[in-house]
Amino acid sequence: MKQYNNQGALQHPLRSGFNAQSTTADVIAGVDLSGKIAIVTGGNAGIGVETTRTLAAAGATVIVPARDVQKARKNLEGIPQVEIEAMDMMDPASIDAFAEKFLASERPLHLLINNAGIMWVPLRRDARGIESQLATNYIGQFHLTARLWPALKVANGARVVNVSSLGHQMGGVDFDDPNFLHRPYETLQAYGQSKTASNLFALELDNRAARFQVRAYSVHPGSIGGTELGREAPLELFQQMGFVDEQGNMRPEVLASLKTVPQGAATTVWAATSPLLSEIGGVYCEDGDVAELLGPDSARLHQSGVSPASLDAHSAQRLWSLTETMTGIEFDIR
């Protein structure tokens, strides 16, 4: 019997045996992906490379859509069973072109890993006027998943994994002004909004798609050293968040909490492949397990757990409708 996570009903750890120190090698052990097809956005940088490498090593054919194809080829050199294609998450036409080419191959899609993302950037907008963090971290996920739906549907058991963040706790979705047209731009709020939207999308996608054997998940990979994600954030922002001291040096307690790249990619791989999730969907995962649900009145930023507001069924349905209006994309699951 399929179970759904509306209002966080399923946000209880499954005692998977994994934790923050678990790596991709740990969570993929014993998993055979031979004959499976995966798409990993952002699969040529940071934890995306490790995700691509791990899935391919387990037998999957992995397609990596990338904005910079030459960079992707360099970063993924030597990894077998990888196909690299051009795609820009901020460019709707390129998403359509990538999806059309994949669908033309008539292959099923077993795993869609929506890993690409940006963080703490200055105010920018795409050609539609959509704020860039929302456009990349959520709208692109919705658009790509909608276009690839026929291939997910025929896979006879597919999973969609949205790489989210504990940063979803920084802000909910402002349904009246999602693109900061009438309020001051605050990059942390924009980031939080985009990740809350990603969680809500996984919840509603799972509710609608489970009857077609497609399940969806959102994951927090953890704070990871050695990635490019925060490259545009000013020093003052890291100081505001308490990550570095007045001199710009990373605080020892923060440094000690950072994950390695194989540890950071582990929860994505676990959500994509774990048999423990075969009858469970729409959940937010961290540290190789389902995360705890935070209390409804949690006000400060927690280092673990998921906000109930990002698993609210009414908000998820409202966001789906708003996204279709904003993008002109009708994502009709049938």
- Rounded to whole angstroms, what are the CA distances from 173 to 68, 75, 117, 200, 268? 30, 34, 17, 10, 24
How far is 309 from 102, CA to CA, in rounded Å? 35
How far is 303 from 184, CA to CA, in rounded Å? 27
| Closest to 139 (Cα-Cα) out of 326, 1, 6, 332 | 326
- Rounded to whole angstroms, what are the CA distances from 112 to 42, 214, 272? 12, 10, 8
140 alpha carbon, distance to own chain's centre: 11
Catalytic residue among 138, 191, 217, 284: 191
Q: Based on the residue annotation, tell me whether 138 is a catalytic residue of this protein.
A: no
164: left (phi over 0), alpha (psi -120 to 50) or beta: beta
How far is 311 from 242, CA to CA, in rounded Å? 27
147 alpha carbon, distance to own chain's centre: 17
Which are the catalytic amino acids? 191
